[in-house]
Structure 1
Amino acid sequence: MLSCAYRLVAPRVFEPVQLNIPVSNEVLVRPTFLSICNADIRYYQGTRSAAVLAKKLPMALIHEAVGLVVRDPSGTYSPGDKVALVPNAPCSQDDCIAENYLRTSKFCGSGYDGFMQELVSLPVERVVGLPSQLRDEVAAFTELVSVAMHAVDRFDSIAHARKEHIGVWGDGNLGFIVSLILKTRYPNAQICVFGRNEYKLNDFTFVDETRLTCDAPKECVFDHAFECCGGEGSAAAIDQIIDTVKPEATISLLGVSENPILMNTRMVLEKGLRLFGSSRSGRADFLTVAEMYRQHPEMPKYLESLVGGVFEVESVADMVTAFEADLRKSSGKTVMKWNI
């Protein structure tokens, strides 16, 4: 079966490439809504190193996507079923290391073609059914929600039992989703979100408190904390977190920083803190998110506030328009309605 992938061949340049999808036992899915991630933008702009770009391009971008099943030989899904596409593709299994941390795993949109394609063929375990009533624009960034879910699940297994006060640093999309999952998972906990933009913090209506980072407390207040800033903001956020968490707190690091950052290890040792990092997600995290969508219908309603621009995409020019718009956005997720 013929299909077409739209690959980034150079910064800001997409080209269609015809592919032959062999008939197999895999699930055939037509992507319908795609969400642009900051990682996609770094490739699109060409801000990754020349060595990385030379190694990974040409490549179809996008790892956040939802689609409709076209064919499933296994009978697990029916044609027309709404499914999230799982970008992580493990090549092996380890009893101690999760699939998203195995160095042998492949990841769509990072060295391997992502979901900017007419049709995608995936193993049945790489697709996860979603509630039919879930808005497509929200379903498009289920992968990002699964990343936050993965971090919260790991936190639950690592942190000590006292979870009365939890701080979240970061007023962007990831901070929003992490805070929402925390409040859903621990409804009796006091969740406080710190950010630099008051207009963004105003959207965190489900948490107990929001503060600007310049108004962070000077004393030890939080049992645990999450860092969701990344970039240049990571160092300042981690520094504040170390100062304001109580002894033996657990700190979850989620923000991606291109450059090494300094850390007050003296206070980490003095307080006996636990720091752990989380990246990407696996099938189990998608399943947990899908179930949370079903059990807590208010959660997708809150996530709707993250939907930014929605762009109808029918051509390469439309793809460029959507990516350029994402570069100018102040907040939210840019979604492409994939009419390809």
Structure 2
Amino acid sequence: MINQVYRLVSPRQFEVTYKDRSIQSDKIVVRPTHLSICAADQRYYTGTRGKEAMAKKLPMALIHEGIGKVVYDPNNEFAPGTRVVMVPNTPTEKDEVIAENYLRSSKFRSSGYDGFMQDYVFLHRDRIVPLPEEIDPSVAAFMELITISMHALVRFEAKAHARKNTFGVWGDGNLGYITTLILKKRYPDSKVYIFGKTKYKMDHFSFVDEAYQIDEIPDDLRIDHGFECVGGNGSQSAINQMIDYINPEGSICILGVSEYPVEINTRMILEKGLTMIGSSRSGRTDFVNTVNFMVEHPEVVEYFGMLIGEVHEVKNIQDIIDAFEKDLTNSWGKTILEWKI
């Protein structure tokens, strides 16, 4: 069959590529229905990823957050029309120690490997996770972002000490919102604090115990563990602030991505005996855990719904461009694409 792939060929320019794909294989064919734009997609779209990276990775179909419906399963395990979450990480080997999202050989969609902006996506059987019908598709569209927090929490629980009375999350954006919500549901008897810069964003965090502006933190406040969800240049001050307010032997989980190295206070890391845990992306297990988390706590789907910024119906390339341009002006939430192209 001929599959249409909508690739970014240069900043703000998409073109259709036609690829001949055979259904006589072991791959499951999925028709995307709802996609979500990520900040990483925007860096490619606007050309701010850097000339070297752009030259190396383009042309490429964007989007690594999305859901769809099964069109064809050669093994008839999934009936046509079954809703599934698509897993963007694609490992090529297994390791007994290193998780699939940290293997250097793994491929990741919309990062040097075609993403979900296609008529049909051909996926290995372990790259889809069934999605219950009761979960809002616009929320499920950005489930990959939720899995990043879930993955970081699993790593944290495997490495951190047992005292978990107080948590601090730095970053009042999408990732900070998701992380604080999961922490509050996972540890209902613990205090969860959000630290941010923008009051109207922090007003969305109605479920936290306290919200603090980063320049108005009480001197005597202390946390047992911290999660950095800032990224970029701001991650430097966020991490150093966490080091100041964390109790000895606490853990600092770093989730935010920074393009450039940042300076941190290593002296106090040593004096306090802190553990720093880096997390990046996620794997299939994290998607399964996230779906189960939503089923066990159905109320969180409504909270996650607060992150839906705008929903755009996409029927042609111009609709794609319009959605990406509009997303650049959004100050809060995720831009969802209803994929009807």
Could you tell me the TM-score, scaled by structure 2's length?
0.98
1:97 has 2:92 as partner = no
Runs (4+) off by over 3 Å: none
Mapping for residues 187-226 of structure 1, pairs under 5 Å = 187-219=188-220, 221-226=222-227
1:39-79: per-residue Cα shift (whole Å, max 9, x none)?
Answer: 00000000112111111000000000000111112233211
Amino acid at match of 2:122: S
In structure 2, distance between residues paired with 1:76 and 1:197: 47
Mapping for residues 173-322 of structure 1, pairs under 5 Å = 173-219=174-220, 221-322=222-323
With 70-79 and 268-277 compared, the bigger mean Cα shift is at 70-79
In structure 2, distance between residues paired with 1:299 and 1:6: 33
**Partner secondary structure for residue 148 of structure 2:** helix
**Once the 2 structures are TM-superposed, how far is the Cα of residue 99 of structure 1 from its aligned partner?**
0.2
**Once the 2 structures are TM-superposed, how far is the Cα of residue 292 of structure 1 from its aligned partner?**
0.7
Task: Show the counterpart of 1:12.
Answer: 12
Task: Show the counterpart of 1:163.
Answer: 164
Mapping for residues 46-57 of structure 1, pairs under 5 Å = 46-57=47-58
Amino acid at match of 2:107: K
In structure 2, distance between residues paired with 1:291 and 1:104: 28
Paired residues, what number? 340
1:242-293: per-residue Cα shift (whole Å, max 9, x none)?
Answer: 0000000000001111111110000000000000110000000000001111
| Mapped contact 1:218–1:243 kept (Cα < 8 A) | no
In structure 1, distance between residues paired with 2:325 and 2:294: 31
Share of identical aligned residues, percent?
53
**Partner secondary structure for residue 96 of structure 1:** coil
Task: Show the counterpart of 2:131.
Answer: 130
**Partner secondary structure for residue 301 of structure 2:** helix
In structure 1, distance between residues paired with 2:78 and 2:152: 29
In structure 2, distance between residues paired with 1:206 and 1:47: 35
1:103-131: per-residue Cα shift (whole Å, max 9, x none)?
Answer: 00000100000000000010110000111
In structure 2, distance between residues paired with 1:11 and 1:179: 34
In structure 1, distance between residues paired with 2:162 and 2:221: 18
Amino acid at match of 1:50: K
In structure 2, distance between residues paired with 1:211 and 1:76: 49
1:307-331: per-residue Cα shift (whole Å, max 9, x none)?
Answer: 0011010011000000001111101
| Mapped contact 1:216–1:240 kept (Cα < 8 A) | no
Amino acid at match of 1:327: L
Q: Name stretches of at least 5 consecutive residues in structure 1 with no aligned partner.
A: none
Amino acid at match of 2:109: C
Mapping for residues 25-104 of structure 1, pairs under 5 Å = 25-104=26-105
| Mapped contact 1:169–1:237 kept (Cα < 8 A) | yes
Amino acid at match of 1:319: I
Amino acid at match of 2:143: T
Amino acid at match of 1:257: S
| Mapped contact 1:34–1:66 kept (Cα < 8 A) | yes
**Once the 2 structures are TM-superposed, how far is the Cα of residue 233 of structure 1 from its aligned partner?**
1.1
Amino acid at match of 1:318: D
In structure 2, distance between residues paired with 1:327 and 1:60: 19
**Partner secondary structure for residue 14 of structure 1:** strand
With 255-264 and 212-221 compared, the bigger mean Cα shift is at 212-221
**Partner secondary structure for residue 215 of structure 2:** helix
In structure 1, distance between residues paired with 2:237 and 2:218: 14
Let me know the Cα RMSD of the aligned residues.
Answer: 0.8
In structure 1, distance between residues paired with 2:128 and 2:245: 41
**Once the 2 structures are TM-superposed, how far is the Cα of residue 184 of structure 1 from its aligned partner?**
1.2
**Once the 2 structures are TM-superposed, how far is the Cα of residue 215 of structure 1 from its aligned partner?**
1.3
Q: Name stretches of at least 5 consecutive residues in structure 2 with no aligned partner.
A: none
Amino acid at match of 1:37: C
Task: Show the counterpart of 2:2.
Answer: 2
Amino acid at match of 1:20: D
Could you tell me the TM-score, scaled by structure 1's length?
0.99
**Once the 2 structures are TM-superposed, how far is the Cα of residue 220 of structure 1 from its aligned partner?**
5.6
Amino acid at match of 1:242: I
In structure 2, distance between residues paired with 1:127 and 1:283: 8
Amino acid at match of 1:9: V
